[in-house]
Structures are given as C-alpha cells and as structure tokens.
Amino acid sequence: MAYTDTAVQETEVLIVGAGPVGLMLANILGMYGRKVVVLEAMDQLIDYPRGVGLDDESFRTIQTVGLVDTVRPHTSPQHIMRLVNGAGKVILTNNPKTDEFGWDRKHSFIQPEVDKALYEGLARFDNVEVHFGHRVENVEEDANGVTAIALVSQDDDTLVERRFRAQYLVGCEGGKSPTRKRMGVSFEGESPSTRWLVVDVNNDPLGTPNVFLGADPKRPYVSIGLPHAVRRWEFMLLDHETEEQVTDPEFVNQMLKDHVPDPASLDYIRRRVFTHHGRIAGTFRKGHQLIAGDAAHLMPVWMGQGWNSGMRDATNLGWKLASVISGQASDSLLDTYTDERSEHAKSMIDLSMTFGSVIKLTNPAAVVARDTASSVLNLFPQVKSYFSDMRFKPMPRYTKGVLVDPSTRTAGTAKGRIISKMIPVLTANNTVSPVGVQFPQYRFNSEAGKNLLLDDVVGNWWTVIVWGNNPKDVLPEASLEKLRGLGAKLVAIVPETQREWAEKYMDEEITVLGDHTGRMKKWFDDRPTPMIFLRPDRFVAGACLNQHGPATLDAILSALKFKDGTGAPADQVPAGVRGSSY
C-alpha cells in the first residue's frame, strides 16, 4: 500500500537518474546557483565499471565544474588503441597526441570512481539535493512546469508517494528512459543481434596498458587495461550460446585461456552479456521535459563515445537551462539543444556502428580483404596519421542554434566556410569557420599566474576575446552595455612581450592574457576572425573582424533569445557565474 505525502517539494530543475549525465548536469546547474533535485530509483550509485573511455572534451567540462583534482587519480591519459587481426598483427593504431582543448585526447577511467567524484562534488552546493530510492512513477505537466510523483520504500516495506515540482525535468535514466517514453518521441536506429560477453577483473593479470581490439574471425574480442589494475575483456558470442552458458565460470575460463596463463585464479568483478545498440530520439525536448545521455541516444562501445556523448549533452544543456531559469533568455532557447546535439550524436552512432562492423567480420574473404587493405593503407603516412591522430572522429560542429554566420551575420545558422571578397578573408590561410565548434584551450600568462589554462582564467560564462586589442576600444558603448547585461567577460590576448604594457594601458575590467607559447597567435594568424564571442560551453557563437563586432553581437543575442537586447538587469545573470568583467 502507498501513502501520499501531501507536501510538494519545490525546485527549479528535476533530474531523473543519478548516472554520470545526471550528476554532471546537476554540477553545472549547481555551479550556476540553480535549485536542483536529483531523483534516483536505486539505493546507491552503480559500483561496477561500464564506460572506459574519457575524452578531452569531457575533461574540459570536468575542469569547468572544478573537479579535475578528484577525477584525475582515476584516469590514465594517452590511452592507445590497437586493432589487431586474427594472427595478432597490428593493422591500425589510434594514438592521438593533440591537446588543443587543454587535455590529452583520450583517457581510460574507472567509471564508478569518477561517478562518485561527480556525486560528492554536489556537496559543495546548498541548492542541490540527491534522493536515492525515489522511483519516478508519473509526471504531470502543465503550462508552467512539471510535477513528478515518486515512490519511496520505507523500512516497514510500505511505500510513500512524494511529489516534486519544477520548471523543467531532465530524464537521464538510460536507454529504457521512462521520460522519453512519456514524451512519446521516436527512438530510431538499430539493435544488431550480435551479443557480447563483458568480463571485468581486479588485479590485472597481464599488466599491459591500453586497448587491443581483436578482429579475430574465429571470435572477435577486446582487451582493455584500465586504471587501478582493472582489466576488461569483451568476447563476441555465437548465436547458439545462451546467457546462462556464457556466464558460467568454466565457460569464461575457457574464453580466457589464450589471454591469461591461469584464468581460474582471477578476481572477477562481473560477467555480463550485452547487446550493442545504435539509436537516437526524434527530439531531445518536448515541453518542460528533456532527455540526455543514453535516454536520448545509444551507441555501440567501439569508439568509447557513449559516456562522452552524455557529457556533451550536459555541457550543452546546463548553461541554457541556467539562462532560461534566471530570466536572461526565453524558453525557446531550449529548442536549440536538439538542434545542436542531435546531428553530432547521430554521426557518432554511425561511426561506431561502422567501426564495429569492421572488427566483427567473420567471413574469411572479407577478413582477408580488410587485412590486405589495412596493410596497403598503412604504407601511406597521411592515411596512417588519419587513424593514429583520430581525425576520423567527427568533432561537434553546430550549424543551427546559438550562433551567427561569420559571412552574413545571420542569427541562428552558420555555414562551414567564411565567404567574402574582403582582402583579410581572401588572404587568410584558413577560411573554415570557427563558429559552431569548440574554441581551443591553450595556456597563457596573466596577473593571476603563469602557464594557466584559458578556462581557468576567463571563468564559466560568456567571454569576448579580442586578439591584440582592447575590446573597449573596438566596441561601442551600446555593445558594451549589452555585454554587461549578458555578464560577459572581456579578454585581450596579446603576445607575452606586450602583456605588462597592456595590463597598464587597459583598465581593470579587461583580462589581459599573454600568449607565451605562440599557439594562440598562430590560430588567429590563420583566420580572418580577430574577435571571438565564446559561449559558456566553450563553443564559438560568433567570430568576426573587429568592425563587425556590434552586428555580430546583436545577432548572437537574437539567436540566444535574449530577453533584453539593451542589457538585462544584473539579477538575470545566473548566480555562480565566475569571471564577469562587470
């Protein structure tokens, strides 16, 4: 029997699911001072590994919410992946060494420990609560928000029905998401019939780091060295092999006999069968309910992008919810969440599915063709580096949303190239538009310290960056007033040789950064865009010549659904914003 608690707990955002995506979104909203309640059906966090790959974009978000020091001990950077054929010969190596976003491109990690760090990070915020053992049974939506009804088990086995009221609800409850089902949106894609056995063990009996993808036609496999001496194997199962059969210890030991000298002595964490999925929701938002992470998209494990795609969702959605709830932007801003995230999630699903089909080939002729083609392609340095540097991975590029076309200054859309007959564009080394992509994070010197990462200096909200010039000298007062309403930070980046002079010349409202490595100068030298409007999620909303700054800003405010183009009241800037110049 269920008893109803007549009290209704009020909050601003309800997050259903205390997995990594829900926890990260709660950290972002907590950082911005928003009131959040997280409801989790389970009694505690999941304590076994699931995801194993953490990329540089996700680490940048972890940096933004101030949890790098608690997460890094549970990671291994420069996680190399090698694809080997049935004879054990390496046919492809993936070892990207770029760090344009401030962190190594790939890390392995122990998900339970990182999830725990995200959960414990919420203790910093008085405005965030997490309730375990709360299973959301129903959601009532009206014009002003949602009311969630959760069932809570008591010690005497009775159930109490609790109600929570919020402006928005975000479902982060995984691939079977009840929120997505309540929204009534499609979940299109594939669920291949191929099943896999995943085996995790403690006290890694091999000790070798990194990842081996075994494209063995007899039985494709994966072997992954993880932090804290954890090792994972995955084996493709044959159609006639039942789950009961393959999880039997003797069967697992037989699977591992070619990998480990003594499988029977292993310290097993889990043995579990799973099926890869490639699915995406038709929309990520409907009214006052939204979905993120696996609730919005499922992808095979091959590229290690399931966990990271969820982090991208939280990074994109968090600042938008904060903007709407604070009154700075209208509710329609949330429609850009699907516009911006759906296409890239679909691209990652397609890539993962394709990569998986290459690994799990069992037809002898197809295997020979694959291995032969790989051997030939590896003879060409450009092709080899294409795979080694992971340039085949599609980086997020938003073409519709909170951005402005650099050629036409049209609000809400941005083409991939800058087109103009002006000399600065015609003579540029690179006319690929930086709008809609993530801005690089290099290191700088400033009054705050030496060799600092960009995000640690500029804060966690809107930023206007101007190369070699004072933003106040190239933007009129009307534009500066709008930026005050936005809560934007004004930043001048100069060569390190000019930094001390610029700090004396420019007033205290300008943050001056010295480019002591020359990497930022090279970036600006290649592009005809010395003025950058940087969103809170570090994506470029606008990029232009200085004299196009006012028009670009106005178009950004339009795309943002900014409520007062002449400058919003100070109380409409989300609380917790770090680094505002005003």
CATH of domain 195-275: 3.30.9.10
CA distances from 174 to 22, 310, 320, 582 (A): 10, 10, 22, 41
- What is the spatial distance between Cα 495 and Cα 527, in angstroms, rounded to a whole number? 17
Per-residue pLDDT of the chain (582 residues; tens, 9 = 90+): 566 677 899 999 999 999 999 999 999 999 999 999 999 999 999 988 788 899 999 999 999 999 999 999 999 998 888 888 877 888 778 787 889 999 999 899 999 999 999 999 999 999 999 999 999 999 999 999 999 999 998 877 788 999 999 999 999 999 899 999 999 999 987 766 678 899 999 999 998 888 888 888 888 888 999 999 999 999 988 889 899 999 999 999 999 999 999 999 999 999 998 877 788 999 999 999 999 999 999 877 655 677 999 999 999 999 999 999 999 999 999 999 999 998 888 877 777 666 555 555 555 655 455 455 455 445 445 444 434 444 445 577 999 999 999 999 999 999 999 999 999 999 999 999 999 999 999 999 999 999 999 999 999 999 999 999 999 999 999 999 999 999 999 999 999 999 999 999 999 999 999 999 999 999 999 999 999 999 999 999 999 999 999 999 999 999 999 986 443 444 577 877 775 554
Alpha carbon distance, N-terminus to C-terminus of the chain: 56
CATH 3.40.30.10 assigned to 400-572: yes
Predicted confidence at residue 266, as pLDDT, reads: 95
- Please determine whether the domains at 195-275 and 400-572 fall in the same fold group of CATH: no
Predicted confidence at residue 322, as pLDDT, reads: 97
Predicted confidence at residue 565, as pLDDT, reads: 44
8 A C-beta contact, residue 223 and residue 207: no
If one counts every other C-beta atom within 10 angstroms of the C-beta of residue 485, the result is 21
Q: Which amino acid is located at 366 in the chain?
A: A
Q: Biggest alpha carbon distance in the chain?
A: 77
Superfamily (CATH) of domain 2-73+109-186+279-355: FAD/NAD(P)-binding domain (3.50.50.60)
Of 27, 24, 23, 29, the residue nearest 45 (C-alpha)? 23
- What is the spatial distance between Cα 341 and Cα 310, in angstroms, rounded to a whole number? 10
Whole-model pTM: value is: 0.91
23: Cβ contacts below 8 Å, ≥ 6 apart: 38, 115, 118, 119, 121, 122
- What are the sequence ranges of the domains in the chain? 2-73+109-186+279-355, 195-275, 400-572
8 A C-beta contact, residue 222 and residue 210: no
Q: Looking at residue 295, what DSSP letter applies?
A: G
If one counts every other C-beta atom within 10 angstroms of the C-beta of residue 506, the result is 19
Spacing of C-alpha 163 from chain mean position: 31
581: Cβ contacts below 8 Å, ≥ 6 apart: 483, 488, 489, 490, 509, 510, 511
Q: Looking at residue 417, what DSSP letter applies?
A: B
SS (H, E, C) 494-556: EEHHHHHHHHHHCCCCEEEEEECCCHHHHHHHHCCCCEEEECCCCEEEEEECHHHHHHHHHHH
Predicted confidence at residue 79, as pLDDT, reads: 87
Element of type H or E holding 269: strand 267-275
- What is the spatial distance between Cα 4 and Cα 8, in angstroms, rounded to a whole number? 11
17: Cβ contacts below 8 Å, ≥ 6 apart: 38, 39, 40, 171, 172, 173, 174, 293, 295
